[in-house]
Amino acid sequence: MVQKLQQKDKLIGIGAALIAALMFGISPAIAKLAYAGGSNGMIMTFTRAFMSLPFLFLLARQQKVSLRLTKQELLLVVLVSIFGNFSTTLMLYSSFSYIKVGMASVLHYFFPVFVVVASIVFFKEKTKWWKILALLLGFAGVLTFMGGAAESDLTGLLLAVGSAITYAAMLISVEHTALSGFHCIKLTFYTNLIVSPVAFITGLAGSTLKLQMTAGAWAYSFVVSLMVGVIGFSLLNYAIVKIGASSTSVISMAEPLSGVLFGFLILGEKLTPLNWLGCILIMAGVAIISLFSLRKVSDTV
């Protein structure tokens, strides 16, 4: 009975990580459509966080999730929200103005390497051979999309890589602090609640928050807020608690697939045979993590 419950938790965690990856992967292509109507990285960061708040609040009320915070928890949430959620979103969305969506998504997905290395070095996590193999397969798949890096704008490249570093720090923080005990909706609500005014004030100070967009841009922004601000981050936080940051990060390598494929379908960005091989390698890594995570539960029990 215990084994079945643990396997069910793992399976739900894996599913949550995959759906979150799909949401995050599709959103860049939709965000870039909003850019054509007057949006930019700062505006998208603000609208994504702000528009999601009513839905998250209603979900918390409907599921009777307490939104109370201690002073220590509030400080922790503020730090993770600003240096993790806000910084990651702003840098990633800003990179779309300089380089292709597919390239930005791929560079952002160097973060599993940072997560696994940090887990081993700082938290002495015993990493199994299958997790290393899955990481190498996923990383090899990511590298197949690096062909256009030399011709890409350096600013965009640095922004995308920077988003990978801050995202990795956020995942590790959620797993190894008191935030791991938060309900996923509670944590997502507060990170968006903090990101909204930070993005608003920062945008006004830097004259990058001009909310004069077309109706289409507002509609695309709303879709991104639901996909990322409500569904994506809630499921991501849930997956971290259920299967850990390192496993979640490797499974999240499925995001470049959806990012690249939707960049191809919606924005007309090209894919080469090598890119398709990369997709296969990434999915192989995700499959290994999924299968061995479930098998590990059986062996442990």
* Residue 5: predicted pLDDT: 56
Domain count, the chain: 1
- Whole-number Å distance between alpha carbons of 143 and 132: 16
- Whole-number Å distance between alpha carbons of 17 and 23: 10
* Residue 151: predicted pLDDT: 56
The residue to which tokens 């509670």 are assigned: 186
With CA atoms as reference, report the closest residue to 16 among 288, 230, 172, 248: 248
- Whole-number Å distance between alpha carbons of 263 and 209: 25
Task: For 269-285, give one letter per residue: b (16+ CB within 10 A) or e.
Answer: beeeeebeebbebbbbb
* Residue 300: predicted pLDDT: 47
* Residue 73: predicted pLDDT: 92
Q: Is 82 exposed, middle or buried (0-12, 13-18, 19+ CB in 10 A)?
A: middle
Task: Using the Cα atoms of residue 11, residue 102, residue 284 and residue 175 in order, give the sign of their dihedral.
Answer: negative
Per DSSP, 253 falls in state G
Domain limits for position 241: 2-300
The residue to which tokens 């609640």 are assigned: 193
* Residue 206: predicted pLDDT: 85
Name the pTM for this structure.
0.78
* Residue 294: predicted pLDDT: 63
Stretches in the chain below the pLDDT threshold 70: 1-5, 102, 145-152, 256, 259-260, 262-263, 266-267, 269, 293-301
